[in-house]
Homo-oligomer: A and B are copies of this chain.
C-alpha cells in the first residue's frame, strides 16, 4: 500500500478550506476539520480525511446542511434533546457535548440525545471532550444498517459505536471506543485491500452462512454483532447495538434500526423515514458529584497500574489499557505527520479541483 506523509496542520487547513468552500462558517469548518483529523491522528484512518469525500458527496446531494443551526428543543436539569438541523455530526456532536458538560457541572450529570444529524467521526473524540476537563464522558451514535441481529439475514443495525472516556491522575485517560460488532467495517476494508480472508465471526453471507469473504457486506451479506454467533455471545453484541440505536435514535426521534439513512450518497435514504437524520447520545458525569475527584483520580491510577502489571500470557504481550494505542499513534503522528494512502490522496486531489481549494497538503 503506497502512501505519502502529510503534515498534520496542512491536512487540517485543507479540510477546513474544503468545509468553508461548502458553506460552513470558519469556526465550524475549523472544528469539523479538527474532529476529522483527530481520527487520523489516533490511527483510526477509516474515520478521518478518507471520509472528507463522502461528506462532500452527501453535501452535494443536499443531505448535509452546511448552514445548519443545531438547537435545543427540550431540556431538563440533567438532559437535553437537540435538533441537528441536518448538520454535520462533526459539528453537531461537539455542540451537544458542550451542553452535556455544562449540565454535568450544574446537575451532576448531563445527557443529550440528538436527532437530525449526520455521521460524527470517531465517538472517542466527543467522549474525550469531557475527560479532558476531568469529567467522565460517553458518546454513542447509530449508523447505516450493515449488521444483522443474531438469527437473521436482514441488516437492521449500524456498527453503532460506544465510547467511554475516564480521566486518571498521572496516567492518560482510559478511552474505550468500539463498534458493537465483532469488527468494524474499516477492518474489512483493510482485508479487502490486502486480498486477505476475514476470521469467522466477522461477517455472514446474504443467506446468513458464516463467511470469510471481506467483500460479503457489499454482496448483500452483513457484519455480525460482537460475539459473532449465538454460542459466543452475539446476542450480547445485539443488545449493545440495540441499546445504542434506542438511546441515539428512538429517544431523539431520529431514524432508527433499518430506517437509518446510508452514509454513502449513491444509496437513497428510506422512502418512509421514521424520524429525522441519524441520532447520537452523549453524556458527561461530574466526578465531584459522586466523590472527591482527586481520590477518584488516584484510584484510577491504581486501577490502571494494576491492569498494566497483570501477568501476560506471552513475554512479548501486555494488557492494553483502552486508549493507550491510540495515544501512541497520536504522539507519533503529531511529530511525524499522517500517512495518506495514494487512493485517499487521489480523492482529496479531485476534491481540491472540484471545490477550488488553494491549500496544498504537502
Interface residues of A (CB under 8 A from B): 74-79, 81, 106-109, 111, 113, 136, 148-154, 156, 164, 166, 174, 176, 178-183, 199, 201, 207-208, 226-228, 231-233, 235-240, 242-243, 245-246, 250-253, 256-258, 274-275, 285-287, 289-291, 295-296, 299-300, 302-303, 306-307, 310-314, 317-320, 322
A311 contacts across to B, CB distance below 8 A:
152-154
Query: In the bound complex, do residue A111 and residue B113 qualify as a contact, i.e. CB atoms below 8 Å apart?
Result: no
Query: In the complex, A145 Cα to B340 Cα: how many Å?
Result: 43
Q: Is the CB of A256 within 8 A of B201?
A: no
Residues on the B chain within 8 Å of A176, using CB? 236, 239-240, 242-243
Is B109 within 8 A of A253, CB to CB? no
Complex CA gap A208/B296 in Å reads 32
Give 8 A-B contacts (CB < 8 Å), ordered by A residue. Answer: A174-B242, A178-B235, A235-B322, A238-B322, A245-B303, A250-B300, A251-B290, A275-B299
Docked Cα-Cα span, A242 to B164, in Å, equals 10
C-alpha gap A319/B320 in the complex (Å):
34
Q: How far is the CB of A75 from chain B (nearest CB, A)?
A: 8
Known contacts being A246-B303, A257-B307, A285-B111, is A182 close to B78, with CB within 8 Å? no
- Which chain B residues lie closer than 8 Å to A156 at the CB level? 306-307, 310, 319
**Complex contact B111–A108 (CB within 8 A):** yes
Q: Which of B239, B252, B256, B287 contacts A291 (CB 8 A)?
A: B252
CA of A90 to CA of B250 in the docked complex: distance in angstroms? 32
A352 to chain B, nearest CB (A): 37
How far does the Cβ of A256 sit from chain B's closest Cβ, in whole Å? 6
CA distance A106 to B78 in the complex (A): 10
Q: Does the CB pair B201–A232 fall under 8 Å?
A: yes
Q: Do the beta carbons of A319 and B151 come within 8 Å of each other? A: yes
Q: Are the C-beta atoms of B208 and A313 separated by less than 8 Å?
A: yes
* Residues from chain B with Cβ under 8 Å of A107 in the complex: 76-78, 107-108
**Is the CB–CB distance between A108 and B290 below 8 Å?**
no
A250: nearest chain-B partner, CB-CB: B299
**Least CB distance, A254 to chain B, in whole angstroms:** 10
* A206 to B: closest C-beta gap in Å: 10
Least Cβ distance of A73 to chain B in Å? 9
Is A291's CB under 8 angstroms from B251's CB? Answer: yes
Q: Is the CB of B226 within 8 A of A237?
A: yes
Whether B246 and A300, one on each chain, are in contact in the complex, defined by CB atoms closer than 8 angstroms, is yes
Which chain B residue lies CB-closest to A297?
A: B250
